[in-house]
Structures are given as structure tokens and as C-alpha cells.
């Protein structure tokens, strides 16, 4: 998308992604892919309504009523929940904050879009495993196989570090310093932020053995069979397999849906229950705002409430087709492909 034929919308979108997000803000690849996905859906939605090509769209075609209709379309026709709806709106607002600065004539439109409220909803309490359940999962991997030893090392690291799944599969062997007793691992977090986490002696020993297992092989810490980085879905599948095996000895895991993010929640809950304060947990998890971590307090309080309620009471008895896509759509799709992990 270039040259004098590019619309104001197309020009601003390209500058927003290539210059503002990549260069000025240096946002993560995941963020760029997510925002590009939002605008690909939004542009395709506008094209169906306006019956025009993408290069002919202007900022005025993305006014507040259109954005609101798009958000309703996401929920009603694409089955998006409030979290996804709000995430899409956040991407749109980020662009219109850029528009408000770089296109004065579009300022009234940008202000009305920025005034669109996020949707309120009842937030689910975080799910997590008990210490007994977590132990059962950690010992459920098969130490006699290469993949079993990798999975054991990966799950031990996941529990020790509370790493997000993208952080876990992105770990490189150079990120781990496996000194005697207490090793450390550098985690490359969201928004290009880094944090260093101290490993327990048990996890350090497991990772040291796993590093010897890898020999002079791949650079990633938890490679797939081909030697490359595991995908997030691949890590999820390996965890599901471990949970399935663990359920044979831990009945409370039967039928449970456990994701890598559940392990992250589990670590945070166990830290809270051990007496660590919220500010320290937020730092450990890589949260920018301690309010994000407050959900663990609510979950812990709810668990205690349910436990008390279960006690006996005294004194009582019982898409758009490829033919319709043009250069702007192709640009947004290329951003998704380029920055998807």
C-alpha cells in the first residue's frame, strides 16, 4: 500500500503499524499480530457494509456508530465474549489515539471513538491446582523417554517461574544459568520486558540434567522433535497428556481442563498462601499493576468461603473471500503472519 492513491486511512494505518508500534513503542510481536487481526476484521466488516474497496475507505468510515456495530457483530455473529470484544476495542482505541495526534481534521471522530466504553462483565475466579494436584502432574511424565524428560523439565520450570506459555516456549538455553543449587532463568515477557527468576534446587538439578540431554543440539530450552521451538498449542497438548496420566492417581484431576495459564495461576496462589504479599507476587509474575494480581486474593477468599460452607453447622440437620481483498487487507494479514509466534 503506497503511492498517491493510498487513502488517509490506509496511510495512517501503515504509519501506525510500521513506525508507531514497531519503532516508537517497540511493542511485542504478539501485540502487533493481535492489532493487525482486529483491523483486518474491521476493514472486512466495513467493506461488506460500504460495498467498496479497502483503499477507498476513509477515517470517516470508521466512526463511532460503525465501531459499535462492529463490536455487536463480533459478539452476535462471531461468538466473541466480553474479553475478546474489549481487546478488539482496545486495539481500535490505540489507533485512534494515534489518529487524534496525526490527523487534526479527524479529531472529532477520534474523540467519539475513544469515548466508547468497555463492556462490563462478571470476572471468573482464577482456576488453579492444589499442591497435591500439582505434584501429581509433575511426576506424571515418563522419564524413560526424551519427550517425557523434556516435559518434566518444562513443567517444573513453568511452576517455578509462573511463566506465560509464550515465555515458556520462547526460553533459550542461554537464558538459563544453572549454577549449583540455585539456578536462575531470564524470562522475556510481554511488551519486551525482562525479569529474572531464581529456580529451586530441584528444578535447577532437573534442568541441568536436561541440558546434558540436549548436548550440542538446539538453542531453545524446550525444543520439539525437529529441534525448533515448541508452539503454544504444542505445550498445551503436552500438559494435557501429563494431566491425563496424573488423573490415574489423583482423582480430583479427572475431567479437569488444565492449561499452561492454570499453572501460572497455581504458582501465584501457592505464593499467596505461603504468605508472600501482593506487590511481590505482581513483580514475580511480571504484572505492571498490582490490581491485576488482586484476583488471586479473591480466589483464595472464595476457596475459604466454600470450605467453611461445606462444614456441618452446629445445631442443624442436613470471513471475507480472497477475491474481495485488496492491498490494505494483504498488508494487515502480512503483519499477522510476520509477528505471530
Distance CA 139, CA 119 (A): 42
Q: Is 190 a catalytic residue?
A: yes
Q: Which residues pair with 185 in a beta bridge?
A: 176, 197
Catalytic residue status for 193: no
Whether 85 is catalytic is no
Mapping DSSP to helix (H, G, I), strand (E, B) and coil, where does residue 185 land?
Answer: strand
Name the active-site residue from 35, 296, 325, 339: 296
Which single residue is written with the C-alpha cell 479527524? 106
Query: Which residue in the list 264, 270, 325, 339 is annotated as catalytic?
Result: 264
State the residue for C-alpha cell 489518529.
99
Handedness of CA 219, 220, 225, 230 (dihedral sign): negative
For residues 214 and 154, is the Cβ–Cβ distance under 8 A? no
Is 236 among the catalytic positions?
Answer: no
Which residue is catalytic, options 20, 40, 164, 325? 164
Tell me, yes or no, if 261 is annotated catalytic.
yes
CA 79 to centroid of chain Cα atoms: 19
Q: Which residue is catalytic, options 190, 195, 208, 232?
A: 190
> Which residues pair with residue 229 across a beta bridge?
223
DSSP class of residue 203?
H
Q: Residue 191: which residues within 8 A CB-CB, separation 6 or more?
A: 27, 28, 31
Dihedral sign (CA 266, 271, 272, 278):
negative
264 catalytic residue (yes or no): yes
Catalytic residue among 245, 287, 325, 339: 287
Q: Which of 93, 188, 261, 294 is catalytic?
A: 261
For 226, the grid coordinates are 525437529
Catalytic residues: 164, 190, 261, 264, 287, 296
Amino acid at each position: 500500500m503506497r503511492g498517491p492513491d493510498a487513502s488517509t486511512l490506509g496511510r495512517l494505518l501503515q504509519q501506525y503499524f510500521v513506525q508507531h508500534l514497531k519503532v516508537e513503542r517497540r511493542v511485542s510481536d504478539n501485540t502487533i499480530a493481535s492489532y493487525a487481526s482486529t483491523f483486518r476484521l474491521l476493514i472486512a466488516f466495513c467493506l461488506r457494509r460500504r460495498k467498496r474497496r479497502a483503499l477507498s475507505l476513509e477515517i470517516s468510515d470508521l466512526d463511532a456508530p460503525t465501531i459499535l456495530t462492529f463490536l455487536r457483530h463480533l459478539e452476535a455473529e462471531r461468538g466473541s465474549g466480553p474479553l475478546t470484544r474489549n481487546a478488539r476495542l482496545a486495539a481500535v482505541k490505540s489507533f485512534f489515539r494515534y489518529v487524534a495526534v496525526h490527523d487534526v481534521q479527524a479529531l472529532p471522530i477520534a474523540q467519539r471513538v475513544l469515548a466508547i466504553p468497555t463492556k462490563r462483565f462478571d470476572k471468573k475466579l482464577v482456576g488453579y491446582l492444589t499442591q497435591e494436584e500439582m505434584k501429581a502432574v509433575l511426576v506424571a511424565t515418563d522419564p524413560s523417554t526424551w519427550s517425557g524428560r523434556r516435559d518434566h523439565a518444562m513443567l517444573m520450570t513453568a511452576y517455578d517461574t509462573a511463566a506465560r506459555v509464550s515465555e515458556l516456549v520462547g526460553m533459550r538455553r542461554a537464558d538459563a544459568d544453572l549454577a549449583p543449587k540455585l539456578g536462575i532463568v531470564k524470562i522475556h515477557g510481554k511488551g519486551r520486558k525482562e525479569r529474572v527468576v531464581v529456580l529451586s534446587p530441584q528444578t535447577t538439578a532437573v534442568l541441568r540434567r536436561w541440558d546434558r540431554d540436549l548436548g550440542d543440539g538446539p538453542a531453545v530450552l524446550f525444543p520439539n522433535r525437529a529441534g525448533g521451538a515448541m508452539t503454544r498449542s504444542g505445550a498445551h497438548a503436552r500438559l494435557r497428556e501429563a494431566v491425563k496420566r496424573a488423573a490415574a492417581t489423583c482423582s480430583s484431576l479427572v475431567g479437569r481442563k488444565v492449561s499452561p495459564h492454570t499453572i501460572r495461576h497455581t504458582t501465584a496462589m501457592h505464593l499467596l498462601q505461603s504468605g508472600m504479599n501482593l506487590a511481590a507476587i505482581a513483580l514475580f509474575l511480571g504484572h505492571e499493576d498490582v490490581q491485576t494480581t488482586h484476583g488471586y486474593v479473591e480466589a483464595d477468599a472464595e476457596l475459604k468461603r466454600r470450605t467453611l460452607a461445606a462444614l456441618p453447622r452446629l445445631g442443624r440437620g442436613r470471513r471475507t473471500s480472497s477475491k474481495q481483498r485488496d492491498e490494505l487487507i494483504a498488508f494487515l494479514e502480512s503483519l499477522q503472519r510476520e509477528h505471530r509466534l
